[in-house]
């Protein structure tokens, strides 16, 4: 078994299976849709229409008060959580009523309890949030960790953010990091860091005179100063946010800069320690931990995040990285694939698309039947495209292959792949066999223009016949040519 682990699934279920006191450092950036109207988030239930069901999607973190949330709340305050955490939830309900904010706190409470359990006595936790929920989360953390174990409220100051001056408020340029330790009386890991500042610090020189310290003066009576370019890192972290043109940027809306994670890991862990991120998103924590010689555990409820992290690691560290971590929760056989489809058809599509080294579509609707796209170099400036369509149902028919063929024509794409859970019908095979071929201009090699492949074949190791494909998410953003249709992904 590898030292590092990537889990696809609900982090509450995954955390429950981890041993107590097995993690040295936790970082979490729990999703909350802070871009929504503040008044809507805190509106009491019944005053506005509520969506049915609470869900987390890759790019839409939505928490809604529902009957299921009501049942969870009752379970947690009636013995399902430690007393202090239950009392905090009860107080929040009195203060907030039943709304999206309370639903978020109800969902977060058991996860924070589990994170406290898996932390070693010498471990630390950094919770990343913004001003919408930071004060409520701090109260919850005080209840679970104990207020005495609070160390800092850190402000991440992203000074390079563009602001909308039309809004009647001071522009927000900070996020909050709540820093707690498991046991303040333990020998918890903490390294005092320093950083260079644009303006060096001037510090008075002190000397001992007559048994006491006084300010030193030169022979003319002027106060003496020493200039320091390096200063100790304080609780305001001046780290720029990622810009659209940043080389780090992967297109994941909540992506944080690597420098932010490196600072946390350097301050509160040692080489060989275990770092856990239960909402690991695009994998910045995982990447930083790998880079800095720490072991890591990443958990995410969306397959698109798991796939992105694997591609990110592959791009950064090469093929050998695959031997250094295990992935749990991803289908390994036909039964597992069917279970994933039954649980979440959208994640099933993303998983199937990733199996052919394509980039999954980020939208569930409006995709025109295309679930992913792979790209391959045609020449130094131009990429070709392979459009991928996934059909996970038990019934398939020739129109599915014809629709894919028509989409290739419409978007002038070079090739198409139809992935099916069911065995292709003779009609589908007839459409595929009469779809023609694509000839690569650089070497004259021919490939079937439309191909069909089953989930069972993919799991058995078979792959479609294509030119060498670019790595999704990262290399695919380089060298796009004029035939790239910007309306697709």
Beta bridge partners of 383: 377
pLDDT bracket for residue 470 (50, 70, 90): confident
Q: Domains, the chain, ranges and CATH?
A: 4-192+236-328 (3.40.50.150), 194-231 (no CATH), 334-477 (3.40.1350.10)
Report the SS3 class of residue 113: helix
Residue 204 has pLDDT above 90, yes or no: no
Strands 359-360 and 325-328: unpaired
pLDDT score at 1: 73
Distance CA 325, CA 321 (A): 7
CA 82 to chain centre: 29
Please tell me what DSSP assigns to residue 131.
T
pLDDT score at 43: 66
Residue 471 has pLDDT above 80, yes or no: no
Lowest-confidence range among 45-54, 252-261, 442-451? 45-54
Distance CA 9, CA 13 (A): 8
Give the list of residues 6+ apart from residue 397 with CB closer than 8 angstroms, or none: 425, 427, 428
pLDDT bracket for residue 486 (50, 70, 90): very low
Report the SS3 class of residue 176: strand
Residue 487 has pLDDT above 90, yes or no: no
Per residue in 255-296, pLDDT tens?
899 999 999 999 999 999 999 999 999 999 999 999 999 999
pLDDT bracket for residue 466 (50, 70, 90): very high
> By percentage, how much of the chain surpasses pLDDT 90?
61
pLDDT score at 346: 87
Residue 454 has pLDDT above 90, yes or no: yes
Residue 49 has pLDDT above 80, yes or no: no
Q: Output 164 or 368, whichever has higher pLDDT.
A: 164
pLDDT score at 483: 37
Lowest-confidence range among 84-98, 109-123, 211-225? 211-225
Distance CA 192, CA 367 (A): 50
Per residue in 317-360, pLDDT tens?
999 999 999 999 989 899 999 999 998 888 899 899 989 989 88
Lowest-confidence range among 226-240, 384-398, 405-419? 226-240
Long-range contacts of 397-406 (CB under 8 A, 24+ apart): 397/425, 397/427, 397/428, 398/425, 398/427, 398/428, 398/430, 398/431, 400/428, 401/428, 401/431, 401/432, 401/435, 401/450, 401/452, 402/431, 403/369, 404/369, 404/450, 405/431, 405/435, 405/449, 405/450
pLDDT score at 54: 27
pLDDT score at 66: 85
pLDDT score at 482: 33
pLDDT bracket for residue 363 (50, 70, 90): low
Average pLDDT over residues 9-26: 96
Residue 167 has pLDDT above 80, yes or no: no
pLDDT score at 477: 47
Q: What is the mean pLDDT of the chain?
A: 87
Per residue in 58-112, pLDDT tens?
434 447 888 888 999 999 999 999 999 999 999 999 999 998 899 999 999 999 9
pLDDT score at 451: 97
Residue 36 has pLDDT above 90, yes or no: no
Per residue in 300-310, pLDDT tens?
988 888 988 99
> By percentage, how much of the chain surpasses pLDDT 70?
88
């Amino acid at each position: 078994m590898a030292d590092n682990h990537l889990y696809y699934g609900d982090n509450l279920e995954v955390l429950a299976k981890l041993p107590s006191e097995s993690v040295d450092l936790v970082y979490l950036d729990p999703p909350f849709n802070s871009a929504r109207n503040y008044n809507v988030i805190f509106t009491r239930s019944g005053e506005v229409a509520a969506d049915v069901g609470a869900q987390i999607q890759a790019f839409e973190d939505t928490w809604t008060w529902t009957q299921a949330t009501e049942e969870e709340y009752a379970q947690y305050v009636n013995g399902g959580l430690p007393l202090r955490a239950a009392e905090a939830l009860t107080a929040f309900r009195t203060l907030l009523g039943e709304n999206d904010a309370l639903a978020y706190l109800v969902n977060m409470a058991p996860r924070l309890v589990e994170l406290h359990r898996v932390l070693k006595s010498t471990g630390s936790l950094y919770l990343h949030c913004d001003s919408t929920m930071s004060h409520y989360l701090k109260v919850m953390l005080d209840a679970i960790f104990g207020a005495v174990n609070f160390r800092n409220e850190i402000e991440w100051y992203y000074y390079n953010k563009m602001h909308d001056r039309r809004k009647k408020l001071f522009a927000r340029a900070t996020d909050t990091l709540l820093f707690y330790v498991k046991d303040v009386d333990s020998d918890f890991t903490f390294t005092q860091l320093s950083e260079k500042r644009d303006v060096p610090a001037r510090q008075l020189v002190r000397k001992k005179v007559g048994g006491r310290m006084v300010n030193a003066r030169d022979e003319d009576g002027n106060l003496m100063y020493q200039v320091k370019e390096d200063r100790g890192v304080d609780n305001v972290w001046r780290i720029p946010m990622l810009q659209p043109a940043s080389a780090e940027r992967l297109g994941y809306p909540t992506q944080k800069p690597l420098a932010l994670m490196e600072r946390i890991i350097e301050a509160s862990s040692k080489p060989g320690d275990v770092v856990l991120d239960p909402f690991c998103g695009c994998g910045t924590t995982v990447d930083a931990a790998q880079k800095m010689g720490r072991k890591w555990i990443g958990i995410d409820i969306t397959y698109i995040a798991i796939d992105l992290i694997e591609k990110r690691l592959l791009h950064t560290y090469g093929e050998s990285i695959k031997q250094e971590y295990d992935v749990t929760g991803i289908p390994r056989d036909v039964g597992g694939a069917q279970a994933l489809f039954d649980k979440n058809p959208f994640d099933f599509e993303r998983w199937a698309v990733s199996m052919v080294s394509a980039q999954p579509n980020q939208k569930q609707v409006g995709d025109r039947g295309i679930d992913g796209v792979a790209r391959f170099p045609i020449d130094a400036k131009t990429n070709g495209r392979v459009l991928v369509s996934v059909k996970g149902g038990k019934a398939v028919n020739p129109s599915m292959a014809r629709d894919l063929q028509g989409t290739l024509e419409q978007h002038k794409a070079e090739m198409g792949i139809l992935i099916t859970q069911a065995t292709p019908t003779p009609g589908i095979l007839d459409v595929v066999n009469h779809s023609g071929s694509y000839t690569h201009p650089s070497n004259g090699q021919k490939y079937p223009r439309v191909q069909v492949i089953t989930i069972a074949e993919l799991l058995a190791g078979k792959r479609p016949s294509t030119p060498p494909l670019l790595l999704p998410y990262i290399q695919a953003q380089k060298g796009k040519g004029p035939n790239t249709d910007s309306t697709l992904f």
